[in-house]
């Protein structure tokens, strides 16, 4: 079992690298519990980190390089700087669905989910598109993709702190729960019968994107209400999942110009 697997689903995570740590401190989407810096960093870095901790009333630990390695599990990426934070925007899918009752039911609801996307870089870039487009949330299963970790945070450039995470046991269970609440479930696939842009999204809709190599799993395909594709020119058959998610997110949010439809 990897370190990440041992903490799967938890809201307390380790963020590392100067920029992600600074983003965490600025964000209202996380509670920063304490900071850490490796003793091998320059005196100017340690002084700046001490000032940062003081200005934000945070505990700062100056730890050895080996202790930092154990804390972040990413010695090539952590830059000798880390923070332990608690994510505030992680909620259970059932709680999100309950929030759609009453007057909120009149408002459109848009969700994106990932089926077997295991590359943390891609997951982080998908998060950026979801936040940028203002999608209601990212359906995040506890199996089949990495839990929120430092590499996802780095790829998302801090957007993970602002992204509503809808936690569910599996992608299949998440889709079923959304459909039970009146969501139409779309799957992005090269063999989709219609263009993603052919019609506006229904009042409640969830879009599922498959893994980097295998695409949508057979179980998920069998659950979906409709398969759609992104029209492609030339010989190119598909886009990187993070690029595709950007198009899906902005279409689902109604932010793409009509000239791109067809």
Q: Is the pLDDT of residue 212 over 80?
A: no
Average pLDDT value for residue range 158-186 = 96
Task: Count other C-beta atoms under 10 Å from residue 216's C-beta.
Answer: 22
Q: Where does residue 235 rank: exposed (0-12), middle (13-18), buried (19+ CB within 10 A)? A: exposed
Q: Per-residue confidence at 158, pLDDT binned at 50, 70, 90?
A: confident
Q: Is the pLDDT of residue 261 over 70?
A: no
Q: What is the pLDDT of residue 160?
A: 94
Average pLDDT value for residue range 114-130 = 94
Query: What is the average pLDDT score of the chain?
Result: 91
Q: Is the pLDDT of residue 115 over 90?
A: yes
Sign of CA dihedral 2, 6, 8, 13: negative
Q: Per-residue confidence at 104, pLDDT binned at 50, 70, 90?
A: confident
Q: Is the pLDDT of residue 167 over 70?
A: yes
* pTM assigned to the model: 0.90
What is the arrangement of strands in the sheet containing 226-229, beginning at the earlier edge strand? 90-92, 165-168, 137-141, 109-115, 204-210, 184-188, 226-229, 194-195
* All domains of the chain in start order, with CATH: 3-87 (3.30.1330.30), 90-260 (3.40.1280.10)
Q: Per-residue confidence at 262, pLDDT binned at 50, 70, 90?
A: very low
Phi, psi angles (nearest 5°) of residue 152: -65, -45
Residue pointed to by tokens 């109604």: 254
Q: What is the pLDDT of residue 253?
A: 93
Average pLDDT value for residue range 16-27 = 94
């Amino acid at each position: 079992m990897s370190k990440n697997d041992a903490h799967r689903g938890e809201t307390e995570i380790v963020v590392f690298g100067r920029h992600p740590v600074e983003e965490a401190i600025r964000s209202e989407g996380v509670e920063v519990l304490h900071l850490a810096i490796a003793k091998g960093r320059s005196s100017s870095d340690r002084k700046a980190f001490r000032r940062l901790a003081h200005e934000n009333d945070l505990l700062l630990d100056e730890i050895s390089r080996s202790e930092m390695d154990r804390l972040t599990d990413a010695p090539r990426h952590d830059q000798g700087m880390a923070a332990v934070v608690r994510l505030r925007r992680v909620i259970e899918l059932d709680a999100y669905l309950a929030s759609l009752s009453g007057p909120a039911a009149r408002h459109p609801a848009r969700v994106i989910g990932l089926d077997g996307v295991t590359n943390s870089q891609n997951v982080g870039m998908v998060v950026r598109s979801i936040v940028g487009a203002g999608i209601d949330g990212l359906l995040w299963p506890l199996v089949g993709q990495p839990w929120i970790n430092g590499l996802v945070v780095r790829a998302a450039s801090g957007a993970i702190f602002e992204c509503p995470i809808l936690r569910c046991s599996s992608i299949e269970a998440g889709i079923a729960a959304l459909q039970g609440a009146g969501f139409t479930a779309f799957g992005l696939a090269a063999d989709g019968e219609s263009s993603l842009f052919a019609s506006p999204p229904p009042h409640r809709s969830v879009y599922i994107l498959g893994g980097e190599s295998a695409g949508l799993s057979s179980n998920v395909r069998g659950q979906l209400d409709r398969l759609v594709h992104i029209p492609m020119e030339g010989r190119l058959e598909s886009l990187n999942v993070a690029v595709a998610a950007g198009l899906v997110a902005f279409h689902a949010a109604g932010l793409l110009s009509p000239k791109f439809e067809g």
